[in-house]
Amino acid sequence: MEITAQRGLSGAPPFPQPRTCPYQPPETYRRLGEEAPLSRVTLFDGRVVWLVTGYHEARQLLADERISADRQRPDYPALAPRFQAEVARRLVLIGMDPPEHDEHRRLLNPDFSRRRVAELRPVIQDVVDHYVDRMLRLGPPADLVRDFALPVPSRVISEVLGLPGEDLEFFQEASRRLLQATTREDSQSAGEELIGYLDRLATRRRTESGPGLIGRLAREEVAGGTLSHSDLVQIALVILVAGHETTASTIALGTLALLDHPEQLARMQADPAAVPAAVEEVLRCVAVTDLAGARVATADIQIAGRTIREGDGVLLSGTMANRDDRVHQDAEDFDIGRTGRRHLSFGYGIHQCLGQSLARLELEIAFSTLFTRIPNLRLAVPADQLAARPLGSGTVQGVQEMPVTW
């Protein structure tokens, strides 16, 4: 029997849903994943879309040219009110299709190559050490989100982009307001503030010498006519927000997952060579976002006994695909002894995360340093008292605060 997703169908649970554990998907998603690799869910505006929970099906669709990432399409699914803001609908790279997507990605590849990321190791280590030093100097308790998880990737991405160090607190707060906005108006206001800041910086970098990606693109590509000034600003916005917010949440929630599994944490602490594998398991198990991508079908697609119709919204759940027991043995277990990188936490296909090498290195250094220098780190409050982000802000998950002691 063929099933299509339409508006107004009954029996499609709401999406997204609140979590009972900050780093685990809601039980409803688990139930849907057990029933079928494709299900139907209802968005906040009443639209019914497909939710893809199967690993193989998600990979197939993420590589399918018949689904579009173009957020400016009128039928692109809005996951929360903030996604209806204009600033959220025109996003380079993650919100566009080829050939424009490919042209922009080509310009950025040198800044995120494995070689360039490897050169950043001492920079990242210095940043991590700085914030661990500060935590130890001030003494317990500390807020791991405020004092470590958020500022570390913020400082790193500011180095990559070439942002002035004195602006760190400004863009942390502005990007927080953008990603956690619960209304279209709040999202637009925060986005315009960030865009205005980046517009002024990119304008200065065309004539003033300055480090980082913004300076290079302004002097080479914008001045040479191969990239527009507005697209440079958009590129900087996407990298700035995506480059620190998801990594910050992964550091915080990954730390929580490791503390929840002390035997796995002990294995990582006992063997520095186990840290990369521990990072991969954190990436697989810790659901920072429920999605590996949101798309809209541009043609009918037959998959897993279902028919995705042209114009249907398609949500691809990396969270559930990473728990597909057809791919991972004992998929619900947190086990740093797993091998390989068979997860979709960085997406798949042409939109696979540009900064994944940078994120992996940040996580390796953050976890290794944190648990080496503060080996008895632990929560200062019961885990069930940690305040999660408001549901209406979208699909990026995290905790507002994470009190820790040692």
**CATH code of the domain covering residue 97:** 1.10.630.10
Q: Measured in whole angstroms, how far is the alpha carbon of residue 185 from the centre of its chain?
A: 23
Using left for φ > 0, alpha for ψ between -120 and 50, and beta otherwise, residue 98 falls in beta
Q: Rounded distance, CA 289 to CA 351, Å? A: 16
Q: What is the pTM of this model?
A: 0.92
- How does residue 86 score in pLDDT terms, banded at 50, 70 and 90? confident
How confident is the model over 146-169, as a mean pLDDT?
A: 91
Q: Rounded distance, CA 142 to CA 404, Å? A: 5
Specify if 353 maps to a domain: yes
Residue 363 has pLDDT above 90, yes or no: yes
Specify if 12 maps to a domain: no
Report pLDDT for 9: 52
- How does residue 226 score in pLDDT terms, banded at 50, 70 and 90? very high
- C-beta of residue 82 within 8 angstroms of C-beta of residue 181: yes
| Residue spans of alpha helices (H) in 261-328 | 262-270, 275-285, 318-321
Checking DSSP bridges between strand 403-405 and strand 378-379, what pairing results, if any? antiparallel
First to last CA, the chain: 57
Q: Rounded distance, CA 147 to CA 150, Å? A: 7
CB under 8 Å to 184, separation ≥6 — which residues?
81, 82, 84, 85
Residue 187 has pLDDT above 90, yes or no: no
Specify if 400 maps to a domain: yes
Which residues pair with residue 289 across a beta bridge? 396
Least confident of 57-61, 104-108, 150-154, 387-391: 387-391
Write phi, then psi, for 191 (nearest 5 degrees): -65, -40
Residue 89 has pLDDT above 80, yes or no: no
Specify if 79 maps to a domain: yes
How confident is the model over 105-114, as a mean pLDDT?
A: 91
Residue pLDDT, tens place only, 304-325: 999 999 999 999 999 999 999 9
Least confident of 227-231, 238-242, 394-398: 394-398
Q: Rounded distance, CA 171 to CA 175, Å? A: 6
Structure tokens at 399: 């905790």
Residues of 327-359 as b/e, b for ≥16 C-beta within 10 angstroms? bbeebeebbbebeeeebbbbbbbebebbbbbbb
Please provide the average confidence, as pLDDT, over all residues in the chain. Answer: 90
Residues of 155-190 as b/e, b for ≥16 C-beta within 10 angstroms? bbbbbbbbbeeeeeeebbebbbbbbbbeebebbbbb
Q: Rounded distance, CA 393 to CA 290, Å? A: 13
Q: Rounded distance, CA 131 to CA 133, Å? A: 5
Report pLDDT for 12: 94
Specify if 7 maps to a domain: no
Residue 91 has pLDDT above 90, yes or no: no
Of residues 80 and 265, more confidently modeled? 265
- C-beta of residue 191 within 8 angstroms of C-beta of residue 87: yes
Specify if 17 maps to a domain: no
Which residues pair with residue 295 across a beta bridge? 314
How confident is the model over 89-114, as a mean pLDDT?
A: 88
Q: Measured in whole angstroms, how far is the alpha carbon of residue 221 from the centre of its chain?
A: 27
- How does residue 392 score in pLDDT terms, banded at 50, 70 and 90? low
Q: Which structural domain, as residue segments, surrounds residue 390?
A: 27-405
Residue 189 has pLDDT above 90, yes or no: no
How confident is the model over 2-31, as a mean pLDDT?
A: 76
Specify if 21 maps to a domain: no
Domain count, the chain: 1
Checking DSSP bridges between strand 301-303 and strand 293-297, what pairing results, if any? unpaired
How confident is the model over 267-282, as a mean pLDDT?
A: 96
Report pLDDT for 4: 41
Residue 209: burial class (beta carbons within 10 Å; 0-12, 13-18, 19+): exposed
Considering the chain, what percentage of its residues have pLDDT values greater than 90? Answer: 70
Considering the chain, what percentage of its residues have pLDDT values greater than 70? Answer: 96
- How does residue 6 score in pLDDT terms, banded at 50, 70 and 90? very low
Residue pLDDT, tens place only, 280-301: 999 999 978 888 899 999 999 9
